[in-house]
Amino acid sequence: MEIFKKNDKLSYLIHRNYHLLPVLNRFGIKLGIKNKTVEDICRERKISTGFFLAIVNTYHNEEYFPREELLSFSPLEITHYLRKTHQYYFQHIVPKLDDLLAKLIASSHHDFKGLQMVDVFYKKYKKELNQHIDHEEERVFPYVINLVKNHKIDPKYTIRSFEQEHSNVDEKLNDLKNLIIKYISPDYDENICNDFLITLSLFEKDLEDHARIEDKILMPITIEIENKLGR
Ligand SMILES: [Fe+2]
Ligand SMILES: [Fe+2]
Ion ligand 1: residues, CB < 5 A: 136
Q: How far is the C-alpha of 159 from the C-alpha of 91, rounded, in Å?
A: 28
Distance of CA 74 from the midpoint of ligand 1 (Å)? 17
Q: Is the pLDDT of residue 151 over 90?
A: no
What is the CA(107)–ligand 2 centre distance, in A? 34
Ligand nearest to the CA of 170: 2
**Whole-number mean pLDDT of the chain?**
93
Q: How confident is the model at residue 229 (pLDDT cuts 50, 70, 90)?
A: confident
Q: Which pLDDT score, from 0 to 100, does residue 209 have?
A: 92
- Of 46-55, 149-158, 171-180, the one with minimum mean pLDDT is 149-158
The per-residue pLDDT for range 46-57, each reduced to its tens digit, is 999 999 999 999
Position 42 confidence tier, pLDDT thresholds 50, 70, 90:
very high
CA of 85 to the centre of ligand 1 (A): 8
pLDDT for residue 113: 87
For the chain, which residues make up each domain, given as ranges? 1-73, 74-228
Nearest ligand to residue 215 Cα = 2
Q: What pLDDT sits at residue 110?
A: 87
Say what the pLDDT of residue 124 is: 95
88 CA from centroid of ligand 2 (Å): 14
3-state helix, strand, coil in the chain (%, to 5): 75, 0, 25
Q: Is the dihedral of CA 134, 136, 139, 143 positive or negative?
A: negative
Nearest ligand for residue 90 CA: 1
Q: Answer for the pair 27, 48: CB distance below 8 angstroms, yes or no.
A: no
Q: Which ligand is nearest to the CA of 137?
A: 1
Q: What is the pTM of this model?
A: 0.93
User: Which pLDDT score is estimated for 41?
Assistant: 98
Please determine, for residue 176, whether its predicted confidence score (pLDDT) is greater than 90: yes
Has residue 111 got a pLDDT over 80? no
d(CA 146, CA 157): 12
Confidence of residue 87 (pLDDT cuts 50, 70, 90): very high
- pLDDT computed for residue 76 by the predictor: 94
Task: Say how many Å lie between the CA of residue 184 and the centre of ligand 1.
Answer: 31
Assign 178 a pLDDT band (cuts: 50, 70, 90). very high
- What's the CA-to-centroid distance between 34 and ligand 1, angstroms? 32
Long-range contact list for 186-190, CB < 8 A, 24+ apart?
187/108, 187/109, 187/110, 187/111, 188/104, 188/107, 188/108, 188/111, 188/115, 189/103, 189/104, 189/107, 189/108
For ligand 2, the distance from its centroid to the CA atom of residue 128, given in whole angstroms, is: 11
More confident residue, 114 or 157: 114
Separation of CA 135 and ligand 2 centre (Å): 9
Determine the pLDDT at residue 134.
95
What is the Å distance from ligand 1's center to 136 Cα? Answer: 6
What average pLDDT does range 94-111 have in this prediction?
95
Q: Of all residues in the chain, what percent carry a pLDDT higher than 90?
A: 79
Cα(191) to centroid(ligand 1), Å? 30
CATH classification number, 1-73, choose in 3.30.70, 1.10.3910, 3.60.15, 1.25.40:
1.10.3910
pLDDT for position 133: 95
Does residue 155 surpass a pLDDT of 80? no
Confidence bin at 174 (pLDDT 50/70/90): very high
For residue 40, is pLDDT > 80? yes
